[in-house]
Amino acid sequence: MRSGVLLLGATTIALVANGAANAADLEPEVKLPPAVWNWSGGYIGGHLGGGYGRTSFSNPYGPSIYGDVVDPPVLLAGGQVGYNWQKNGWVFGVELDASGAVSDGTNTCLAASGFVVSANCKAGPNVFATGTGRVGYAFGALGRTLAYLKGGVAWQNNRGDVVNNFEGGAPQEKTHFDYGRLGGVIGLGVEQALTSAWSVNVEYDYLHFGGPSVATPPTVQNPPFAILPANITSLSSSYHIGKIGLNYHFGADPWVVRWPDAPLYAKAPAGAAPIAYTAGWSFEGGSRLWLSRGRFQWDRSAVASGGLEDPSMLTRPIRESAAFGPD
């Protein structure tokens, strides 16, 4: 079997007459970019979070053998309200938030030696509140992603107990504390606009608080046997908190789940002058290309039953094709 390929190219030039178009009927299309998201404005929302904290107790009886540190886990839920101002890609804002917390931790404390009855210290916050300033930068698709830093003041309410351990069958002495304290907070986060009204954010916060002086219960020393009167321990606490929040931005329809972007193509404003085609002549040029393939095979009808009558018939083509396109 053998094959042949025939290639033919042609170039044409056409002369086209183009008359003047009616300018009044033209509606030119102008390509417009989609709307760029802007973070300016007020918002309100809610959040859930969790983490862990540490409350430290000073020992009035001397350096501790162990303990004096309580590490409570923290679960919290709350809300936030804030306002943003955007300048180019930079976003500045203020935010207030408040959270209710579930937290409880305990550890041995006030263990100055093996001769002093130690205690169990319990601690856990139940309320957090912060007031912060934020600075961030909008990036990503049309500026809908905001990375930010925050810092400001924080407040917590911390409560717990200092309970003596076994005192030889006597009732266990204890004291209770429940106090609020100002401190500080720093954090960072990323917020993503979901629609024109809703955004979601993830955030990490570190909070630190000094603490008040809390009374300790009287305890027992032996030997030598002695009753140690009530004393004072100083508290401090810090927390590492992760949160996820959902915000509603004022001024947008909360039930619209799509972006109100401008269409990719829009008609020119009504006051814009239409653009007419220029009257006259134009030339059009182009090329055409054809590809043709033919097949050749044995003509077996040329072989007689008794032998080869005409050897030249073996190569006679039975089908040959070539295509030529008109110019």
Residue-wise pLDDT tens digits, 20-42: 444 445 455 554 445 567 899 99
pLDDT at 226: 84
Strand-pair partners of 144: none
Which pLDDT band, with edges at 50, 70 and 90, does 165 fall under? confident
Quick check: 241 and 197 in contact, CB under 8 A?
A: no
Amino acid at 289: L
Q: Is the pLDDT of residue 278 over 80?
A: no
Q: Is the pLDDT of residue 10 over 50?
A: no
pLDDT at 41: 95
C-alpha separations of 10 from 7, 208, 293, 295 in Å: 10, 82, 18, 24
CA–CA separation, 268 vs 259, rounded Å? 22
CA–CA separation, 98 vs 42, rounded Å? 17
Interval 112-155: pLDDT, tens? 877 888 899 999 999 999 999 999 999 988 899 999 999 999 99
pLDDT at 166: 76
Supply the DSSP string of 255-324, one letter for each residue: T--S--PPPSEEEPPTTSPP-PPPPEEEEEEEEEEEEEEEEE---GGGEETTEES-GGGGG--S------
pLDDT at 64: 85
Q: Which residue has the tokens 């929040």?
A: 245
Q: Is the pLDDT of residue 72 over 70?
A: yes
Mean pLDDT, residues 189-207: 96
Mean pLDDT, residues 299-320: 49
Contacts of 66 (CB under 8 A, 6+ apart): 108, 111
Interval 166-194: pLDDT, tens? 766 667 888 999 999 999 999 999 999 99
Q: Is the pLDDT of residue 102 over 90?
A: yes
Q: Is the pLDDT of residue 319 over 50?
A: no
pLDDT at 52: 94
pLDDT at 251: 87
Which pLDDT band, with edges at 50, 70 and 90, does 63 fall under? confident
Mean pLDDT, residues 83-99: 96
Q: With pLDDT > 70 as the criterion, what percentage of the chain qualifies? A: 66
pLDDT at 254: 78
The overall average pLDDT reported for the chain is 78
Look at 80-84, 129-133, 318-322 and tell me which has the smallest mean pLDDT.
Answer: 318-322
Which pLDDT band, with edges at 50, 70 and 90, does 260 fall under? low
Look at 44-58, 85-99, 110-124, 257-271 and tell me which has the smallest mean pLDDT.
Answer: 257-271
Indicate the DSSP class of residue 46: E
pLDDT at 315: 47
CB-based burial label for 258 (10 Å; 0-12, 13-18, 19+) = exposed
Mean pLDDT, residues 225-251: 93
Q: Is the pLDDT of residue 91 over 70?
A: yes
Which pLDDT band, with edges at 50, 70 and 90, does 277 fall under? very low
Which pLDDT band, with edges at 50, 70 and 90, does 256 fall under? confident
Mean pLDDT, residues 221-231: 85
